[in-house]
Structure 1
Amino acid sequence: MIDIPEAFAHETISREREPGQQWLTALPGLADELLQRWSCVPDGPIMHGCIGVVIPVRRRDLPPAVIKISFPHPGNVFEPDAFVAWNGQGAVRLFERDDERYAMLLERTDGATLADVTDVTDFDEAVGILGRLSHRLAVDAPAGLPRLSDIVADWTDEIRTTAAELGNPLPRRSLDIAAETLRDLGPDQPETLVHGDLHDANVLRGDREPWLAIDPKGYVGDPAYDTITVIRSLRFAPLLFASDPATDIHRGLDLFCEAAEIDRERARRWAQVRAVKAALWGRRHGDPDWLIRATDQLAEMLF
């Protein structure tokens, strides 16, 4: 039986309440079932993120791997489909999947993320890595994945309603510009696979390739949608508190768009929309004050 990390258990119960407790109770048995069915043996301490555990394993016919088991959540449904479409090009390989149990057997890396590594200290280099990876992941989308055009269809009303409920903490101009972008860019989007949550903590150093993406959402739409998560990556957050944050952020935007080969204006507009949405979400869900302030500032700078 696996030992569930205490911090992960506490976070899961705090967020998911009784369903989280029930899932945690069943998790050790589920892990044992998957180890047996996929002919794997544990090969190191269990790791975890916010929504799942990662069990390092070995299997005779495969390179080092991990079993990832996620809490059942709509945002995790299409992760394996994205991995299948990429087939190891710019992302970790998928060896086995159990969609009913939100479980996958995936390629293992050394665990170091782009946010963690100390030898990528140059801002330009890190942005370039994320941009080039975004370009590699922008492949033709398979059928059946959620479309960003559908996901964002109600965002204008949602943003205005949430802002009103919170006492309108953002300038009216921010909301109006976001609404214009959603009207202009939301309905008509390309048939492209979009990671959906590309940032430096979701990019691992690899052996087969220098950098490999993990934790995709698996959307269909405009690759420029991911710009905000790049800009708000842990590595780049300090730029928002620099002496001239607007200059640095816009330079980062230029570098990312050049490397990703995406339209700079579309990227800026999508980033502004998502900054507005993130600023409101953060207030409702308890983001720290510094992050809320930084996100407010980012929405203003992206006008």
Structure 2
Amino acid sequence: MIPSAFAQATVEREGAAGEAWLAELPGIVDDLLSQWSLERDGNVLHGQVGVVVPVEGDAVVKVSFPHPGNVHEPDAFEAWDGRGAVRLYERDDARYAMLLERAHSSTLAEHTGDVATVAGDLLRQLTIPAPDGLPRMSSRADEWAEELRKDAAELDHPLPSSVVDQALAVIDELCREQPETLVHGDFHARNILRAEREPWLAVDPKGYVGDPAYDAAIFLRTRAYYLHVGDGLATDGLLRHLGAELGRLAEASGVDEERIRRWTQLIAVQSSFWGRRNGFGRARGGSELDQLVQLIDEVAVTWTT
């Protein structure tokens, strides 16, 4: 029942721990179906870190690899209670499992309309006071600043010092003190699905306390890739399009446009350095990675004031 691509990616990423978890996964799913009195209703699907088992009643059982980054997903769903995101029906935290409202497999990344406005409307709904017990993004400020300085010094890159300095200023001015707001943490077009109850609903949150402008910036960073690869936009056209999407995203979400732009600049610098050290899931090396890193560099430089 485990998709082979998911099994391979899990072992490559997690090693022996991933192999051990995969061996237990069919039994975990069977136990959950029995525990919640469910019958399977379709083929097993998967994301990057978990499997999704459709069940009768327009629901799915999601089981994620037991990793600290997946701990607070049900807390976020519980807080939203269906507002802008799929509903949580049941949770089994010990097994990193949830019974969730079913959505379609088509994502906002495939949508040909105004994706920025769709995302902004959804982000407005998701912007609520954070529940107790979630990790604060502000706690990562020192770690982010240290990593930026280390990467800037050690890596061969073309980013001017002014670009790195502004990214560090964003950490000092926006990251160290943030609103007490629930933040999705991985808000991009592939984590926004077509649905029945609402046109679009969010999935796969990380669940942080922080600035909603961070979510908007993550969305724009990822949009740069889709505009370049999916729509085939050259760099100049892509940057103009991304700037226009920034405006529509800010208007629809009610989040300050300049704040989104500054967060996006920081995330672009971080992504530029990350890509040089580690590659990306979509591009591990070669000319594809070089082009993607160069594109992210352009975003970082262009959005530096």
The CA deviation at 1:184 is 0.8
CA RMSD of aligned residues (A): 1.5
Paired residues in the alignment total: 292
In the alignment, the residues of structure 1 paired with residue 233 and residue 177 of structure 2 have an alpha-carbon distance, to the nearest angstrom, of: 32
Deviation at 1:235, TM superposition (A): 4.1
* Deviation (angstroms), 1:187: 1.7
Equivalent residue number for residue 200 of structure 2: 211
Structure 2: gaps of 5 or more residues? 284-288
Q: Give the C-alpha shift of residue 242 in structure 1.
A: 4.5
Equivalence for 1:121? 112
Q: Which amino acid aligns with 2:248?
A: L
- 1:188 is aligned to 2:177: yes
Aligned ranges 1:240-255 → 2 under 5 Å: 241-255=234-248
User: In the alignment, which residue of structure 2 is the partner of 1:258?
Assistant: 251
Distance 1:111 1:121, change over 3 A: same
Q: Give the corresponding residue for 1:102.
A: 96
Inter-partner Cα distance in structure 1 for 2:9 and 2:159: 30
Contact 2:117 2:252 in 1 (8 A): yes
Letter in 2 for 1:248: H
Equivalent of 1:228, from 217, 221, 236? 217
**1:174 has 2:174 as partner:** no
Map of 1:286 onto structure 2: 279
Conserved in 1, the CA contact under 8 Å of 2:227 and 2:238? Answer: no
- Structure 2 residue aligned with 1:138: 127
Whole-angstrom CA distance in 2 between matches of 1:41 and 1:285: 41
CA distance in 1, matches of 2:179, 2:232: 31
Cα distance in 1 for partners of 2:243, 2:236 equals 14
Tell me how far apart the structure 2 counterparts of residues 156 and 162 of structure 1 sit (CA, whole Å). 10
| Equivalent position SS for 1:34 | helix
- What is the deviation of 1:247? 2.2
123, 148, 152: which is aligned to 2:137?
148
Q: Match of 2:99, SS? A: strand
Equivalent position SS for 2:196: coil
Distance 1:114 1:245, change over 3 A: closer
The farther-off stretch of 237-246 and 247-256 is 237-246
| 1:145-172: CA deviation from partner (whole Å, max 9, x where unpaired) | 0111112332111111123232345322
Separation in structure 1 between the aligned mates of residue 234 and residue 182 of structure 2, nearest angstrom: 33
Aligned partners of 1:55 and 1:66 also within 8 Å: yes
Q: Secondary structure at the match of 1:284?
A: helix
Question: Retained in 2: the 8 A contact 1:57–1:65?
Answer: yes
> After superposition, what is the alpha-carbon deviation per residue over 1:57-92, rounded to whole angstroms, capped at 9, x for unaligned?
12xxxx311110111112111100000000001100
Report the CA distance between 1:279 and its aligned residue. Answer: 1.3
Counterpart residue identity of residue 121, structure 1: T
Q: Residues 153 and 186 of structure 1 are in contact (CA less than 8 Å); yes or no, is this contact kept in structure 2?
A: no
The separation in 2 between residues aligned to 1:281 and 1:73, in whole angstroms, is: 21
Residue aligned with 2:162, SS: helix
Match of 1:269 among 262, 280, 302: 262
Contact 1:141 1:192 in 2 (8 A): yes
Structure-2 residue corresponding to 1:42: 40
In 2, the alpha carbon distance for the partners of 1:239 and 1:254 equals 22
Q: Distance in 2 between matches of 1:246 and 1:206?
A: 31
- Deviation readout 1:187-216 (Å, 9 max, x if unpaired): 221111111111111011111111100001
For 1:264, the aligned partner's letter is E
Structure 1 contact 127–256 (Cα < 8 Å) conserved: yes
Which sections of structure 1, spanning at least 5 residues, go unmatched? none
Query: Does 1:8 pair with 2:6?
Result: yes
Q: Distance in 1 between matches of 2:141 and 2:23?
A: 36
Question: How many angstroms does 1:236 deviate by?
Answer: 3.2
Percent of aligned pairs with the same amino acid: 49
Deviation string for 1:83-108 (max 9, x for gaps)?
Answer: 00000011000011111111111000
2:74 to 75, 80, 86: 80
Higher mean C-alpha deviation, range 7-16 or range 157-166: 157-166
User: What is the rounded CA distance, in whole Å, between the counterparts of 1:275 and 1:200 in structure 2?
Assistant: 17
CA distance in 2, matches of 1:82, 1:153: 25
Matched letter for residue 98 of structure 1: D
**Is contact 1:132-1:259 (8 Å) kept?**
yes
Q: 1:251 is aligned with what amino acid?
A: A
TM-score under structure 2 normalisation?
Answer: 0.91
C-alpha distance in 1, partners of 2:201/2:9? Answer: 27
User: Are the aligned partners of 2:108 and 2:189 in contact in 1 as well (CA < 8 Å)?
Assistant: yes
Aligned partners of 2:159 and 2:301 also within 8 Å: no
